[in-house]
Structure formats: structure tokens, C-alpha cells
Structure 1
Amino acid sequence: MNGAGIAHVEAINVEVGQHIVWHVFGVALNVDTILGTLVAGLVIVLFGVLLRLRLSVRKPSGVQLFFETVTSQIENQVESTLGIRTAPFVVPLAAALFLFILIANWLAIIPTGHHPEYMPPPASDVNLTYALALLVIVWMHITGVRRQGFKGYYGHLFKPSVAMFPINLVEELAKPLTLSLRLFGNIFSGVIMVSLIALFPAYILWAPELIWKLFDMFIGLIQAFIFALLTIIYFSSVRPDQESAH
């Protein structure tokens, strides 16, 4: 009875979503999220430098083949969704988001032994996912207005009839929320699972932790792919209608 009570108390005391917070000039900064973001960004920069130094047509390196595969898949998706000529910058944008989110998610496999972790996956902090979603959505609206004009771009809110305006408006406003919370929810759930697995006895802890880490890496890959794919799909709204094009 006592053992069950202790386990129950431990389960109740599991805390997730905590951050290492610094207060700078009255502003609370989640240092762990910032550190994870900087590390993921640094890895992307080093990845690009390494790719540039080893660029070869005859004997491409593994890094080059990986990058070319990712770029080729994104180019095909952009071409089929909105056409590369409509918004050519979507290819590097989607590729950068995919690689950044992928590496940021995979930071979860690096334990620091500190609670809260010094470098958890940054996407487990909703502040980062909101920032990424706003980047995509604001850029999408700016591009749409530049390509089609204010009236031409926002005219889709009144289609197929004026009566659909409230529903279309709610759908438009929900895009940044769904884009950010989808990524946050899936990555944050992984943080919760790691916290629960940590309650296992030490002599069997390695097995479920190893299995979950591998599964977590797969989830991180899928979520990075989905975010990049949704970015491309959302930008399809900047493509002029066939009638407008004629």
C-alpha cells in the first residue's frame, strides 16, 4: 500500500513544460528554447558550409546527396502545387524549415541530465512554433497581395458566395494556430513521454527510453515534413486563378 502511494505521489509530481528562465530588463526569456534554436541554426549553417566545401558533380558526398534529395522532393511538390515560377522562394523556405525543424526535433536524443533539460526540442515551446507559423502566414499574405493585388488576393474569402465569408475568415484566422499547435502538440507529447518513462526503475530504464527515442526521432521527421508540406500548400493561395491569368 505504501509503495503504491509513493508511486502515485511520484506520478503526480511529474512536471513538464518547465523552462530555464532568465529575466532580462523585465522580459522572461526561455533560455533552453533559445539555446536549442541557436544550436539547430548553427548545425544548419555548418551543414551548408560542409556542403559547399565538398560540392562535387562526379563524386557527391552523402551530405550533398541528402540535400539534393530533399531539394528535389520539395521542388516537385512546389511545382505540382503552385508552380515554381509563381513563388520560387518557396523552395528554399520549405527546405530551410524542414531541415531546421528536423534537427531541432532531434535534439531530444541528447540528454543533459538536468531538469529541466538544458536543450530540449525547441518546438516543445509554443513560443517557437507560433513564431514559425507567423513567419509562414505573414509571408504568404504579403506575397499574395503583391502577386494579385489586395482585392484579387482576398477575393477568395467571398467564394463561392458572399454568405461563405464568415466561414472562410475563420478558416484563414485558424491557419497560424493549427500550423503552430500541430507541431507543438506532437513534440510536447514526446517530452511528456520521456518524463513518464523516467519513472521506470533504473535497471530497466534503458530499454523503454531507447525504444521511445527511436520512435521520437521518427515523429520528429514526420512533423518536419508536415510543416514544410503545409507551408507549400498554404502558399498555393498566391497562385492567380486561371481566369485572372487569362
Structure 2
Amino acid sequence: MTGYQINDLASGQLVLAAEQIEPGHHPTAQLFGLTFNTDTILSTVIAGVILLALGLYMARKASAGKPSKLQLIFEMLVEWVQGQVNEQMGVRAPKGVVQLCVTLFAFILISNWLAALPTEPVAPPPTSDVNLVYPMALLVIISVNVVSWRRKGAKHYFGHFAKPYAFLAPIEIVTQFFGRPVSLALRLWGNIFAGGLMVMVIGQMPAYVLWLPNAAWKLFDMFIGALQALIFSLLTIIYFGEAVGEEDEAAAH
């Protein structure tokens, strides 16, 4: 078989695989008239159990004299988040924002890295389902606005939507409560969904060309998963920083 024939065969297999894959398809179950994506629920539970198990194990083995590798990694993550929070907000940082961002990063990272496990067809990364990432983004935006309301008071909270011009208030409100959560969610979902789709397509290729692209893509997919967890957490810190920063404007008036 010539090189051209091999390439044609591989291309044909790839096209056939792409035709057989149904993007965004999830097995579902009905309960109380509601539809639930069972694979997303399963993978979310798996990611949560892994996160809790690692946290409990690390807490049990924590040592100031001889920390484990897991403890060192966790301490590096906390120090990085604390540094970003201090840079954005300093002493004005809302209570619990560091814990929230550390938890978001760890959970998203573990969820994204489920793509590297052979169980992906049954339990794909839950972050590849918009039904999970939208609530996560809403959690961040609601928390940010609650902090902003409490810090500035109702008058200045609603007043900042009309700056610099009152007629722009509807645009600012749509941006705050629709644009930000949608962009925050879709940025994470799009990359993880695309990565999972590529792995599914590559998995249908012939065995003699499968191992190299599949292994290479999974490594790249893990890198993208870590990067997206980092970006999600960093944007969360920035949003909180903006909410706290606007507190100074309220105090000045």
C-alpha cells in the first residue's frame, strides 16, 4: 500500500468517524418531569469525590516539617491565588474569595482531566456540558454582585450602571448579568467540548495511526484543561477586584 493510499484511507476513516459522532449528545433520565444528563451527573460526582478524597488525604498527611508533593502543590496553588487576590484587592478582599477560587480551580482542573481517563465515553468531563458551566458562571457573577451590593449599598450599586452615561445603563446591565456569565461559561465549555470531540474523532482512526495522535492530543488536551481552569479562576478574581475597586468610588461620593 502506497503512502497516498494510506493517507486516503485515514482521511476516509476520519470523515466516517466525524459523521458517526453526535456532538452534545448525552444519555438522559427523567425525574419529576425534568431531564437530567446522567453522564454529566456521574462525572461531576466523580470529580467531586476525587477532590474531596485528595483534600481529606492531604489534610490527614499535612506536615510542616516534611510536606508531601500533594501538599506542596496545594500550597503553591493557594499562594498563587492569594497573591492574585492581594494584587487585585489587597486588604479589601471579600471573605472567602480565596477559598472559592482555589476550589473552582481544583474542581475544574479535575473535571477537565477526566478526559484523559479511559472512562471518558461513560463519564466525559462535566465541563463539556453547558448545563454545568452555566451554573458555575452564574455562581461567580451572583457572588460578585452580592459583594458589590453589600460593600457599596443599594444607591451606589444601582448608580454605577448609569456611568458614564445614564442611557448606557441597559447595555451595562445586559453585559453584567448576561454577557459576563455567558462568556465565562462558553470559554470553558467550548475548549473542553472541542477537545473531547477531537479525541472521539481520533479514536475512530485506524489502529496503525491511532496511538500517536491520540496520545499527543490527550497531553495537549490536559494542558488546555489546566489553562482553562486557570483562566476561569483568574477572571473570577478580576471580577471580584472590579466589584471591590468600585467601592472606593462609592466612598468618594
User: What TM-score do you get using the length of structure 1 for normalisation?
Assistant: 0.91
The answer as to 2:175 corresponding to 1:175 is no
**Residue 214 of structure 2: aligned partner:** 209
SS at 2:90's partner residue?
coil
SS at 1:225's partner residue?
helix
**Residue 185 of structure 1: aligned partner:** 190
Provide the C-alpha distance between the structure 2 equivalents of 1:18 and 1:226, rounded to a whole number of angstroms.
27
Q: Which residue, out of 159, 162, 187, partners 1:158? A: 162
* CA gap 1:197/1:7 in 2 versus in 1, 3 angstroms: closer
Q: Which residue, out of 201, 218, 243, partners 1:238? A: 243
Amino acid at match of 2:188: L
Matches within 5 A, 1:119-138: 119-138=123-142
- Given that 1:78 and 1:84 are in contact with CA atoms closer than 8 Å, whether structure 2 keeps it comes out as no
Q: Which residue, out of 25, 28, 38, partners 2:32? A: 25
- Given that 2:86 and 2:93 are in contact with CA atoms closer than 8 Å, whether structure 1 keeps it comes out as no
Amino acid at match of 1:130: Y
The answer as to 2:41 corresponding to 1:44 is no
Amino acid at match of 2:154: F
Amino acid at match of 1:244: A
Provide the C-alpha distance between the structure 2 equivalents of 1:42 and 1:8, rounded to a whole number of angstroms.
37
SS at 1:28's partner residue?
strand
Offset, 1:84: 4.5
Question: What number of residue pairs does the alignment pair up?
Answer: 243
Q: Which runs of 4+ in 1 moved over 4 A?
A: 3-10
Offset, 1:9: 4.5
The answer as to 2:84 corresponding to 1:63 is no
Amino acid at match of 2:250: S
Q: Which residue, out of 146, 149, 153, partners 2:153? A: 149
- Given that 2:85 and 2:93 are in contact with CA atoms closer than 8 Å, whether structure 1 keeps it comes out as no
- Given that 1:55 and 1:64 are in contact with CA atoms closer than 8 Å, whether structure 2 keeps it comes out as yes
Amino acid at match of 1:153: Y
SS at 1:44's partner residue?
helix
Provide the C-alpha distance between the structure 1 equivalents of 2:233 and 2:19, rounded to a whole number of angstroms.
37
Provide the C-alpha distance between the structure 1 equivalents of 2:61 and 2:187, rounded to a whole number of angstroms.
36
Provide the C-alpha distance between the structure 1 equivalents of 2:144 and 2:86, rounded to a whole number of angstroms.
17
**Residue 108 of structure 2: aligned partner:** 101
- Given that 1:106 and 1:220 are in contact with CA atoms closer than 8 Å, whether structure 2 keeps it comes out as yes
Provide the C-alpha distance between the structure 2 equivalents of 1:211 and 1:121, rounded to a whole number of angstroms.
18
Q: Unmatched 5+ residue regions in structure 2?
A: 1-8
Offset, 1:6: 7.5
Q: Unmatched 5+ residue regions in structure 1?
A: none
Judge which range, 63-72 or 78-87, deviates more. 78-87
Judge which range, 150-159 or 47-56, deviates more. 150-159
**Residue 225 of structure 1: aligned partner:** 230
